[in-house]
A and B are shown apart, each in its own frame.
Chain A
Amino acid sequence: AQSVSQHNHHVILSEAASLELGCNYSYGGTVNLFWYVQYPGQHLQLLLKYFSGDPLVKGIKGFEAEFIKSKFSFNLRKPSVQWSDTAEYFCALSGNRDDKIIFGKGTRLHILP
């Protein structure tokens, strides 16, 4: 079965701390992987995506993610978080068989100033 699992539902960090949000997936084929972010009161927007090539993907606002095929993982990282990173983060995948995207349940990130 196709699925996306995000390990942490709620993460609280202080400013300048390093961030890693876990994401594992289950899919029997080639995948495209995404991280979306939803800032308070705003629409979901794309942070970064991977579909081929370099497994280390850089996105907006200093975020990056690494696709590790052997671990079925696509963890999101940022070396030093800011208060403005407070948001909900969603990992997602699509397969090459159709254009649907499967979302994880999300991780609420709260940054303390």
Chain B
Amino acid sequence: DVKVTQSSRYLVKRTGEKVFLECVQDMDHENMFWYRQDPGLGLRLIYFSYDVKMKEKGDIPEGYSVSREKKERFSLILESASTNQTSMYLCASSLRDSNQPQHFGDGTRLSIL
């Protein structure tokens, strides 16, 4: 069974801090994704990656960056955290094929004070 592991379930940070969210998958998936989930807005794609060292902007990339140095790991970085980035962050991975489903981690609930 596919396992997508996010480093923290809950995280509290202060405005202006640099925040790292880590995600690891164990199924050799080519694709990895970062979303944020907010009530009434569904899932919004922040960034995704089809391969190591490769990244593409999603729908809401402002204020975020990503890193994919190894195939199994995809990191989301909040360069200077702001209160409007308080949210649930979801990582997902999939095989490279548009008909393949995505497999999700448990999510990180991030609060920026």
Q: Tell me the A2-44 residues at the B interface (CB within 8 Å).
A: 9, 32, 34, 36, 42-44
Nearest to A107 among chain B residues (CB) is B42
Which residues in A have some Cβ–Cβ distance to B below 8 Å? Answer: 9, 32, 34, 36, 42-46, 49, 51-52, 90, 94-101, 103-106
Majority secondary structure of chain A interface residues (helix, strand, loop or mixed): loop
Residues of A within 8 A of B31 (CB): 99
The reply to whether B106 and A42 form a contact with Cβ atoms under 8 Å apart is yes
A-B pairs under 8 A by CB, number: 51
Q: How far is the CA of A101 from the CA of B101 in the complex (A)?
A: 9
- The residue from B58, B96, B107 contacting A99, defined by CB atoms under 8 A apart: B96
Shortest Cβ gap from B113 to chain A (Å): 23
Shortest Cβ gap from B28 to chain A (Å): 15
Which residues in B have some Cβ–Cβ distance to A below 8 Å? Answer: 4, 31, 33, 35, 40-43, 45, 48, 50, 58, 90, 92, 94, 96-102, 104-107
Nearest to B97 among chain A residues (CB) is A99
